[in-house]
Amino acid sequence: MPHTLSTDTPEGTGALVSRAGKLLIVVAGLAVAVLVLAGCGARATTAPEADKVLAVQSQMPFQIMVPSYLPKEFDRKNVEITVNLAGPGGEPMVQLAYRTKKGATVTLQEWVPVNPDREILSASRPIQTKWGRGWNLNQGDQLAAIWADVGPTRVSIYTADVATVSNERLLAIAETLGPASNEVVFSFDAAPKQIQEMAAPPAFEVPITAAGVQELTLVVTPGGYSPVRFSVKAGVPVKLTFRQLGEVGCGNELIFPADPVNPASLQLDSATDEQTIEFTPTQLGTFEFHCSHQMYRGLLTVRE
């Protein structure tokens, strides 16, 4: 029986169109529902980049970590992974770069530092992370970076797109790092983080010698005073020897509050010269000592 295109059905053309229309609406509705659900991003899934990470894992001598949390703009599936780069001390390093459609990038670099105390992020301040110590470099709207020590691995997370990923969000990313195979990833905003600075180490307590004198050699170096903060006990004599190490320019003159009301000036005549001041502190409190231009500074605490 030949099939022909014909409109003379028992129901008529109008009924046919209305039925087709209903089917189309159903289909469209389903598509919209799928779109809405997918766009929402509310589902937690395994890390889309896990396969990429596991493919290169054997080339790195430590476990590559990925963050559970990343703002949703970042495309995990197309993360750019580069292995066997060299870290700041020459160690094997892996780099993961996540990008958004608009071209913002957040980059993670991971390595196991050979000498963790001597690889330094310039002008960063020490912060607390849930893993322990970290460093935050904050350059306003130009650059934000966090170094975090996660066990033996150091992770550097940074972005030039501070509008999308602020310092606090970087910390949130850092604190959700984990192995790619285990990670359940999410992108809804976590509770906003606060960057907590590391508490400064306690002031160095000047020891009292057997003769009952607090003796200290205060050294000025290109990096500043060493020790930069120290404390002495009131009522006990102090013998302070001032010297320099390396090129310090005008740092060779020390303005020191042995008497807080009338600070003394100690001037070094040469690179090998030493100047000594002896005094007994009485006034309690914390006082600043500095070079003649107040560029090098330190703190003296007189305690009970």
Residues of span 51-110 touching other proteins by CB under 8 A: 75, 77-78, 85-90, 95, 97, 99-105, 107, 109
DSSP 290: E
Contacts of residue 234, defined as CB under 8 A and 6 or more positions apart, other chains included, come to 281, 282, 283, 284, 302, 303, 304
The residue type at 67: P
Q: Among residues 140 and 202, whose Cβ is nearest to other proteins?
A: 140
x/- track of binding to other proteins for residues 155-194 (CB under 8 A)? ---xxxx---------------------------------
Rounded to the nearest whole angstrom, what is the least distance from the CB of residue 207 to other proteins in the complex?
Answer: 18
Q: Which is nearer to other proteins, 36 or 211 (CB)?
A: 36
Based on CB atoms, which residue is closest to other proteins, 68 or 159?
Answer: 159
Name the phi and psi angles at 150, rounded to 5: -110, 95
**Contact with other proteins (CB under 8 A) among 15, 42, 55, 284:** 15
Nearest alpha carbon to residue 212 among 243, 233, 241, 242 = 233
Q: Site mask, other proteins, residues 262-301, x = CB under 8 A?
A: -------------------------------x-xx-----
Of residues 22 and 133, the one with the C-beta less far from other proteins: 22
The rounded radius of gyration (Å) of the Cα atoms in the chain is 32
Q: Does 24 bind other proteins (CB under 8 A)?
A: yes
- CB of 90 vs other proteins, minimal distance in Å: 4
Task: Give the position of tokens 């160690």.
Answer: 91
Report the site for other proteins in 110-129 (rule: CB under 8 A). Answer: 114-115, 118-123
- The continuous run of DSSP H or E covering 203 comes out as none
Residue 233 region by backbone torsions, left for phi larger than 0, else alpha for psi between -120 and 50, else beta: beta
Per-residue binding letters, 210-249, with other proteins (x by CB under 8 A): ---------x-xxxx-x------------------xxx-x
CA proximity to 268, closest of 230, 223, 217:
217
Task: Provide, rounded to whole angstroms, the least separation between the CB of residue 136 and other proteins.
Answer: 11
Nearer to other proteins, 17 or 236 (CB): 17
Q: Which stretch binds other proteins (CB under 8 A): 131-139, 183-191, 256-264, 278-286?
A: 131-139
Local structure of 173: helix, strand or coil: helix
Name the residue among 58, 56, 76 with its Cα closest to residue 68. 76
Number of other CB atoms surrounding residue 24 within 10 Å: 10
Instruction: Kindly tell me which of 218 and 258 has the beta carbon lying closer to other proteins.
Output: 218
d(C-alpha 172, C-alpha 146), whole Å: 10
Shortest CB 33 distance to other proteins, Å: 9
DSSP track, 233-274: ETTS-EEEEEEE-S--GGGGEEEE-SSTTS-EEEE--STT--
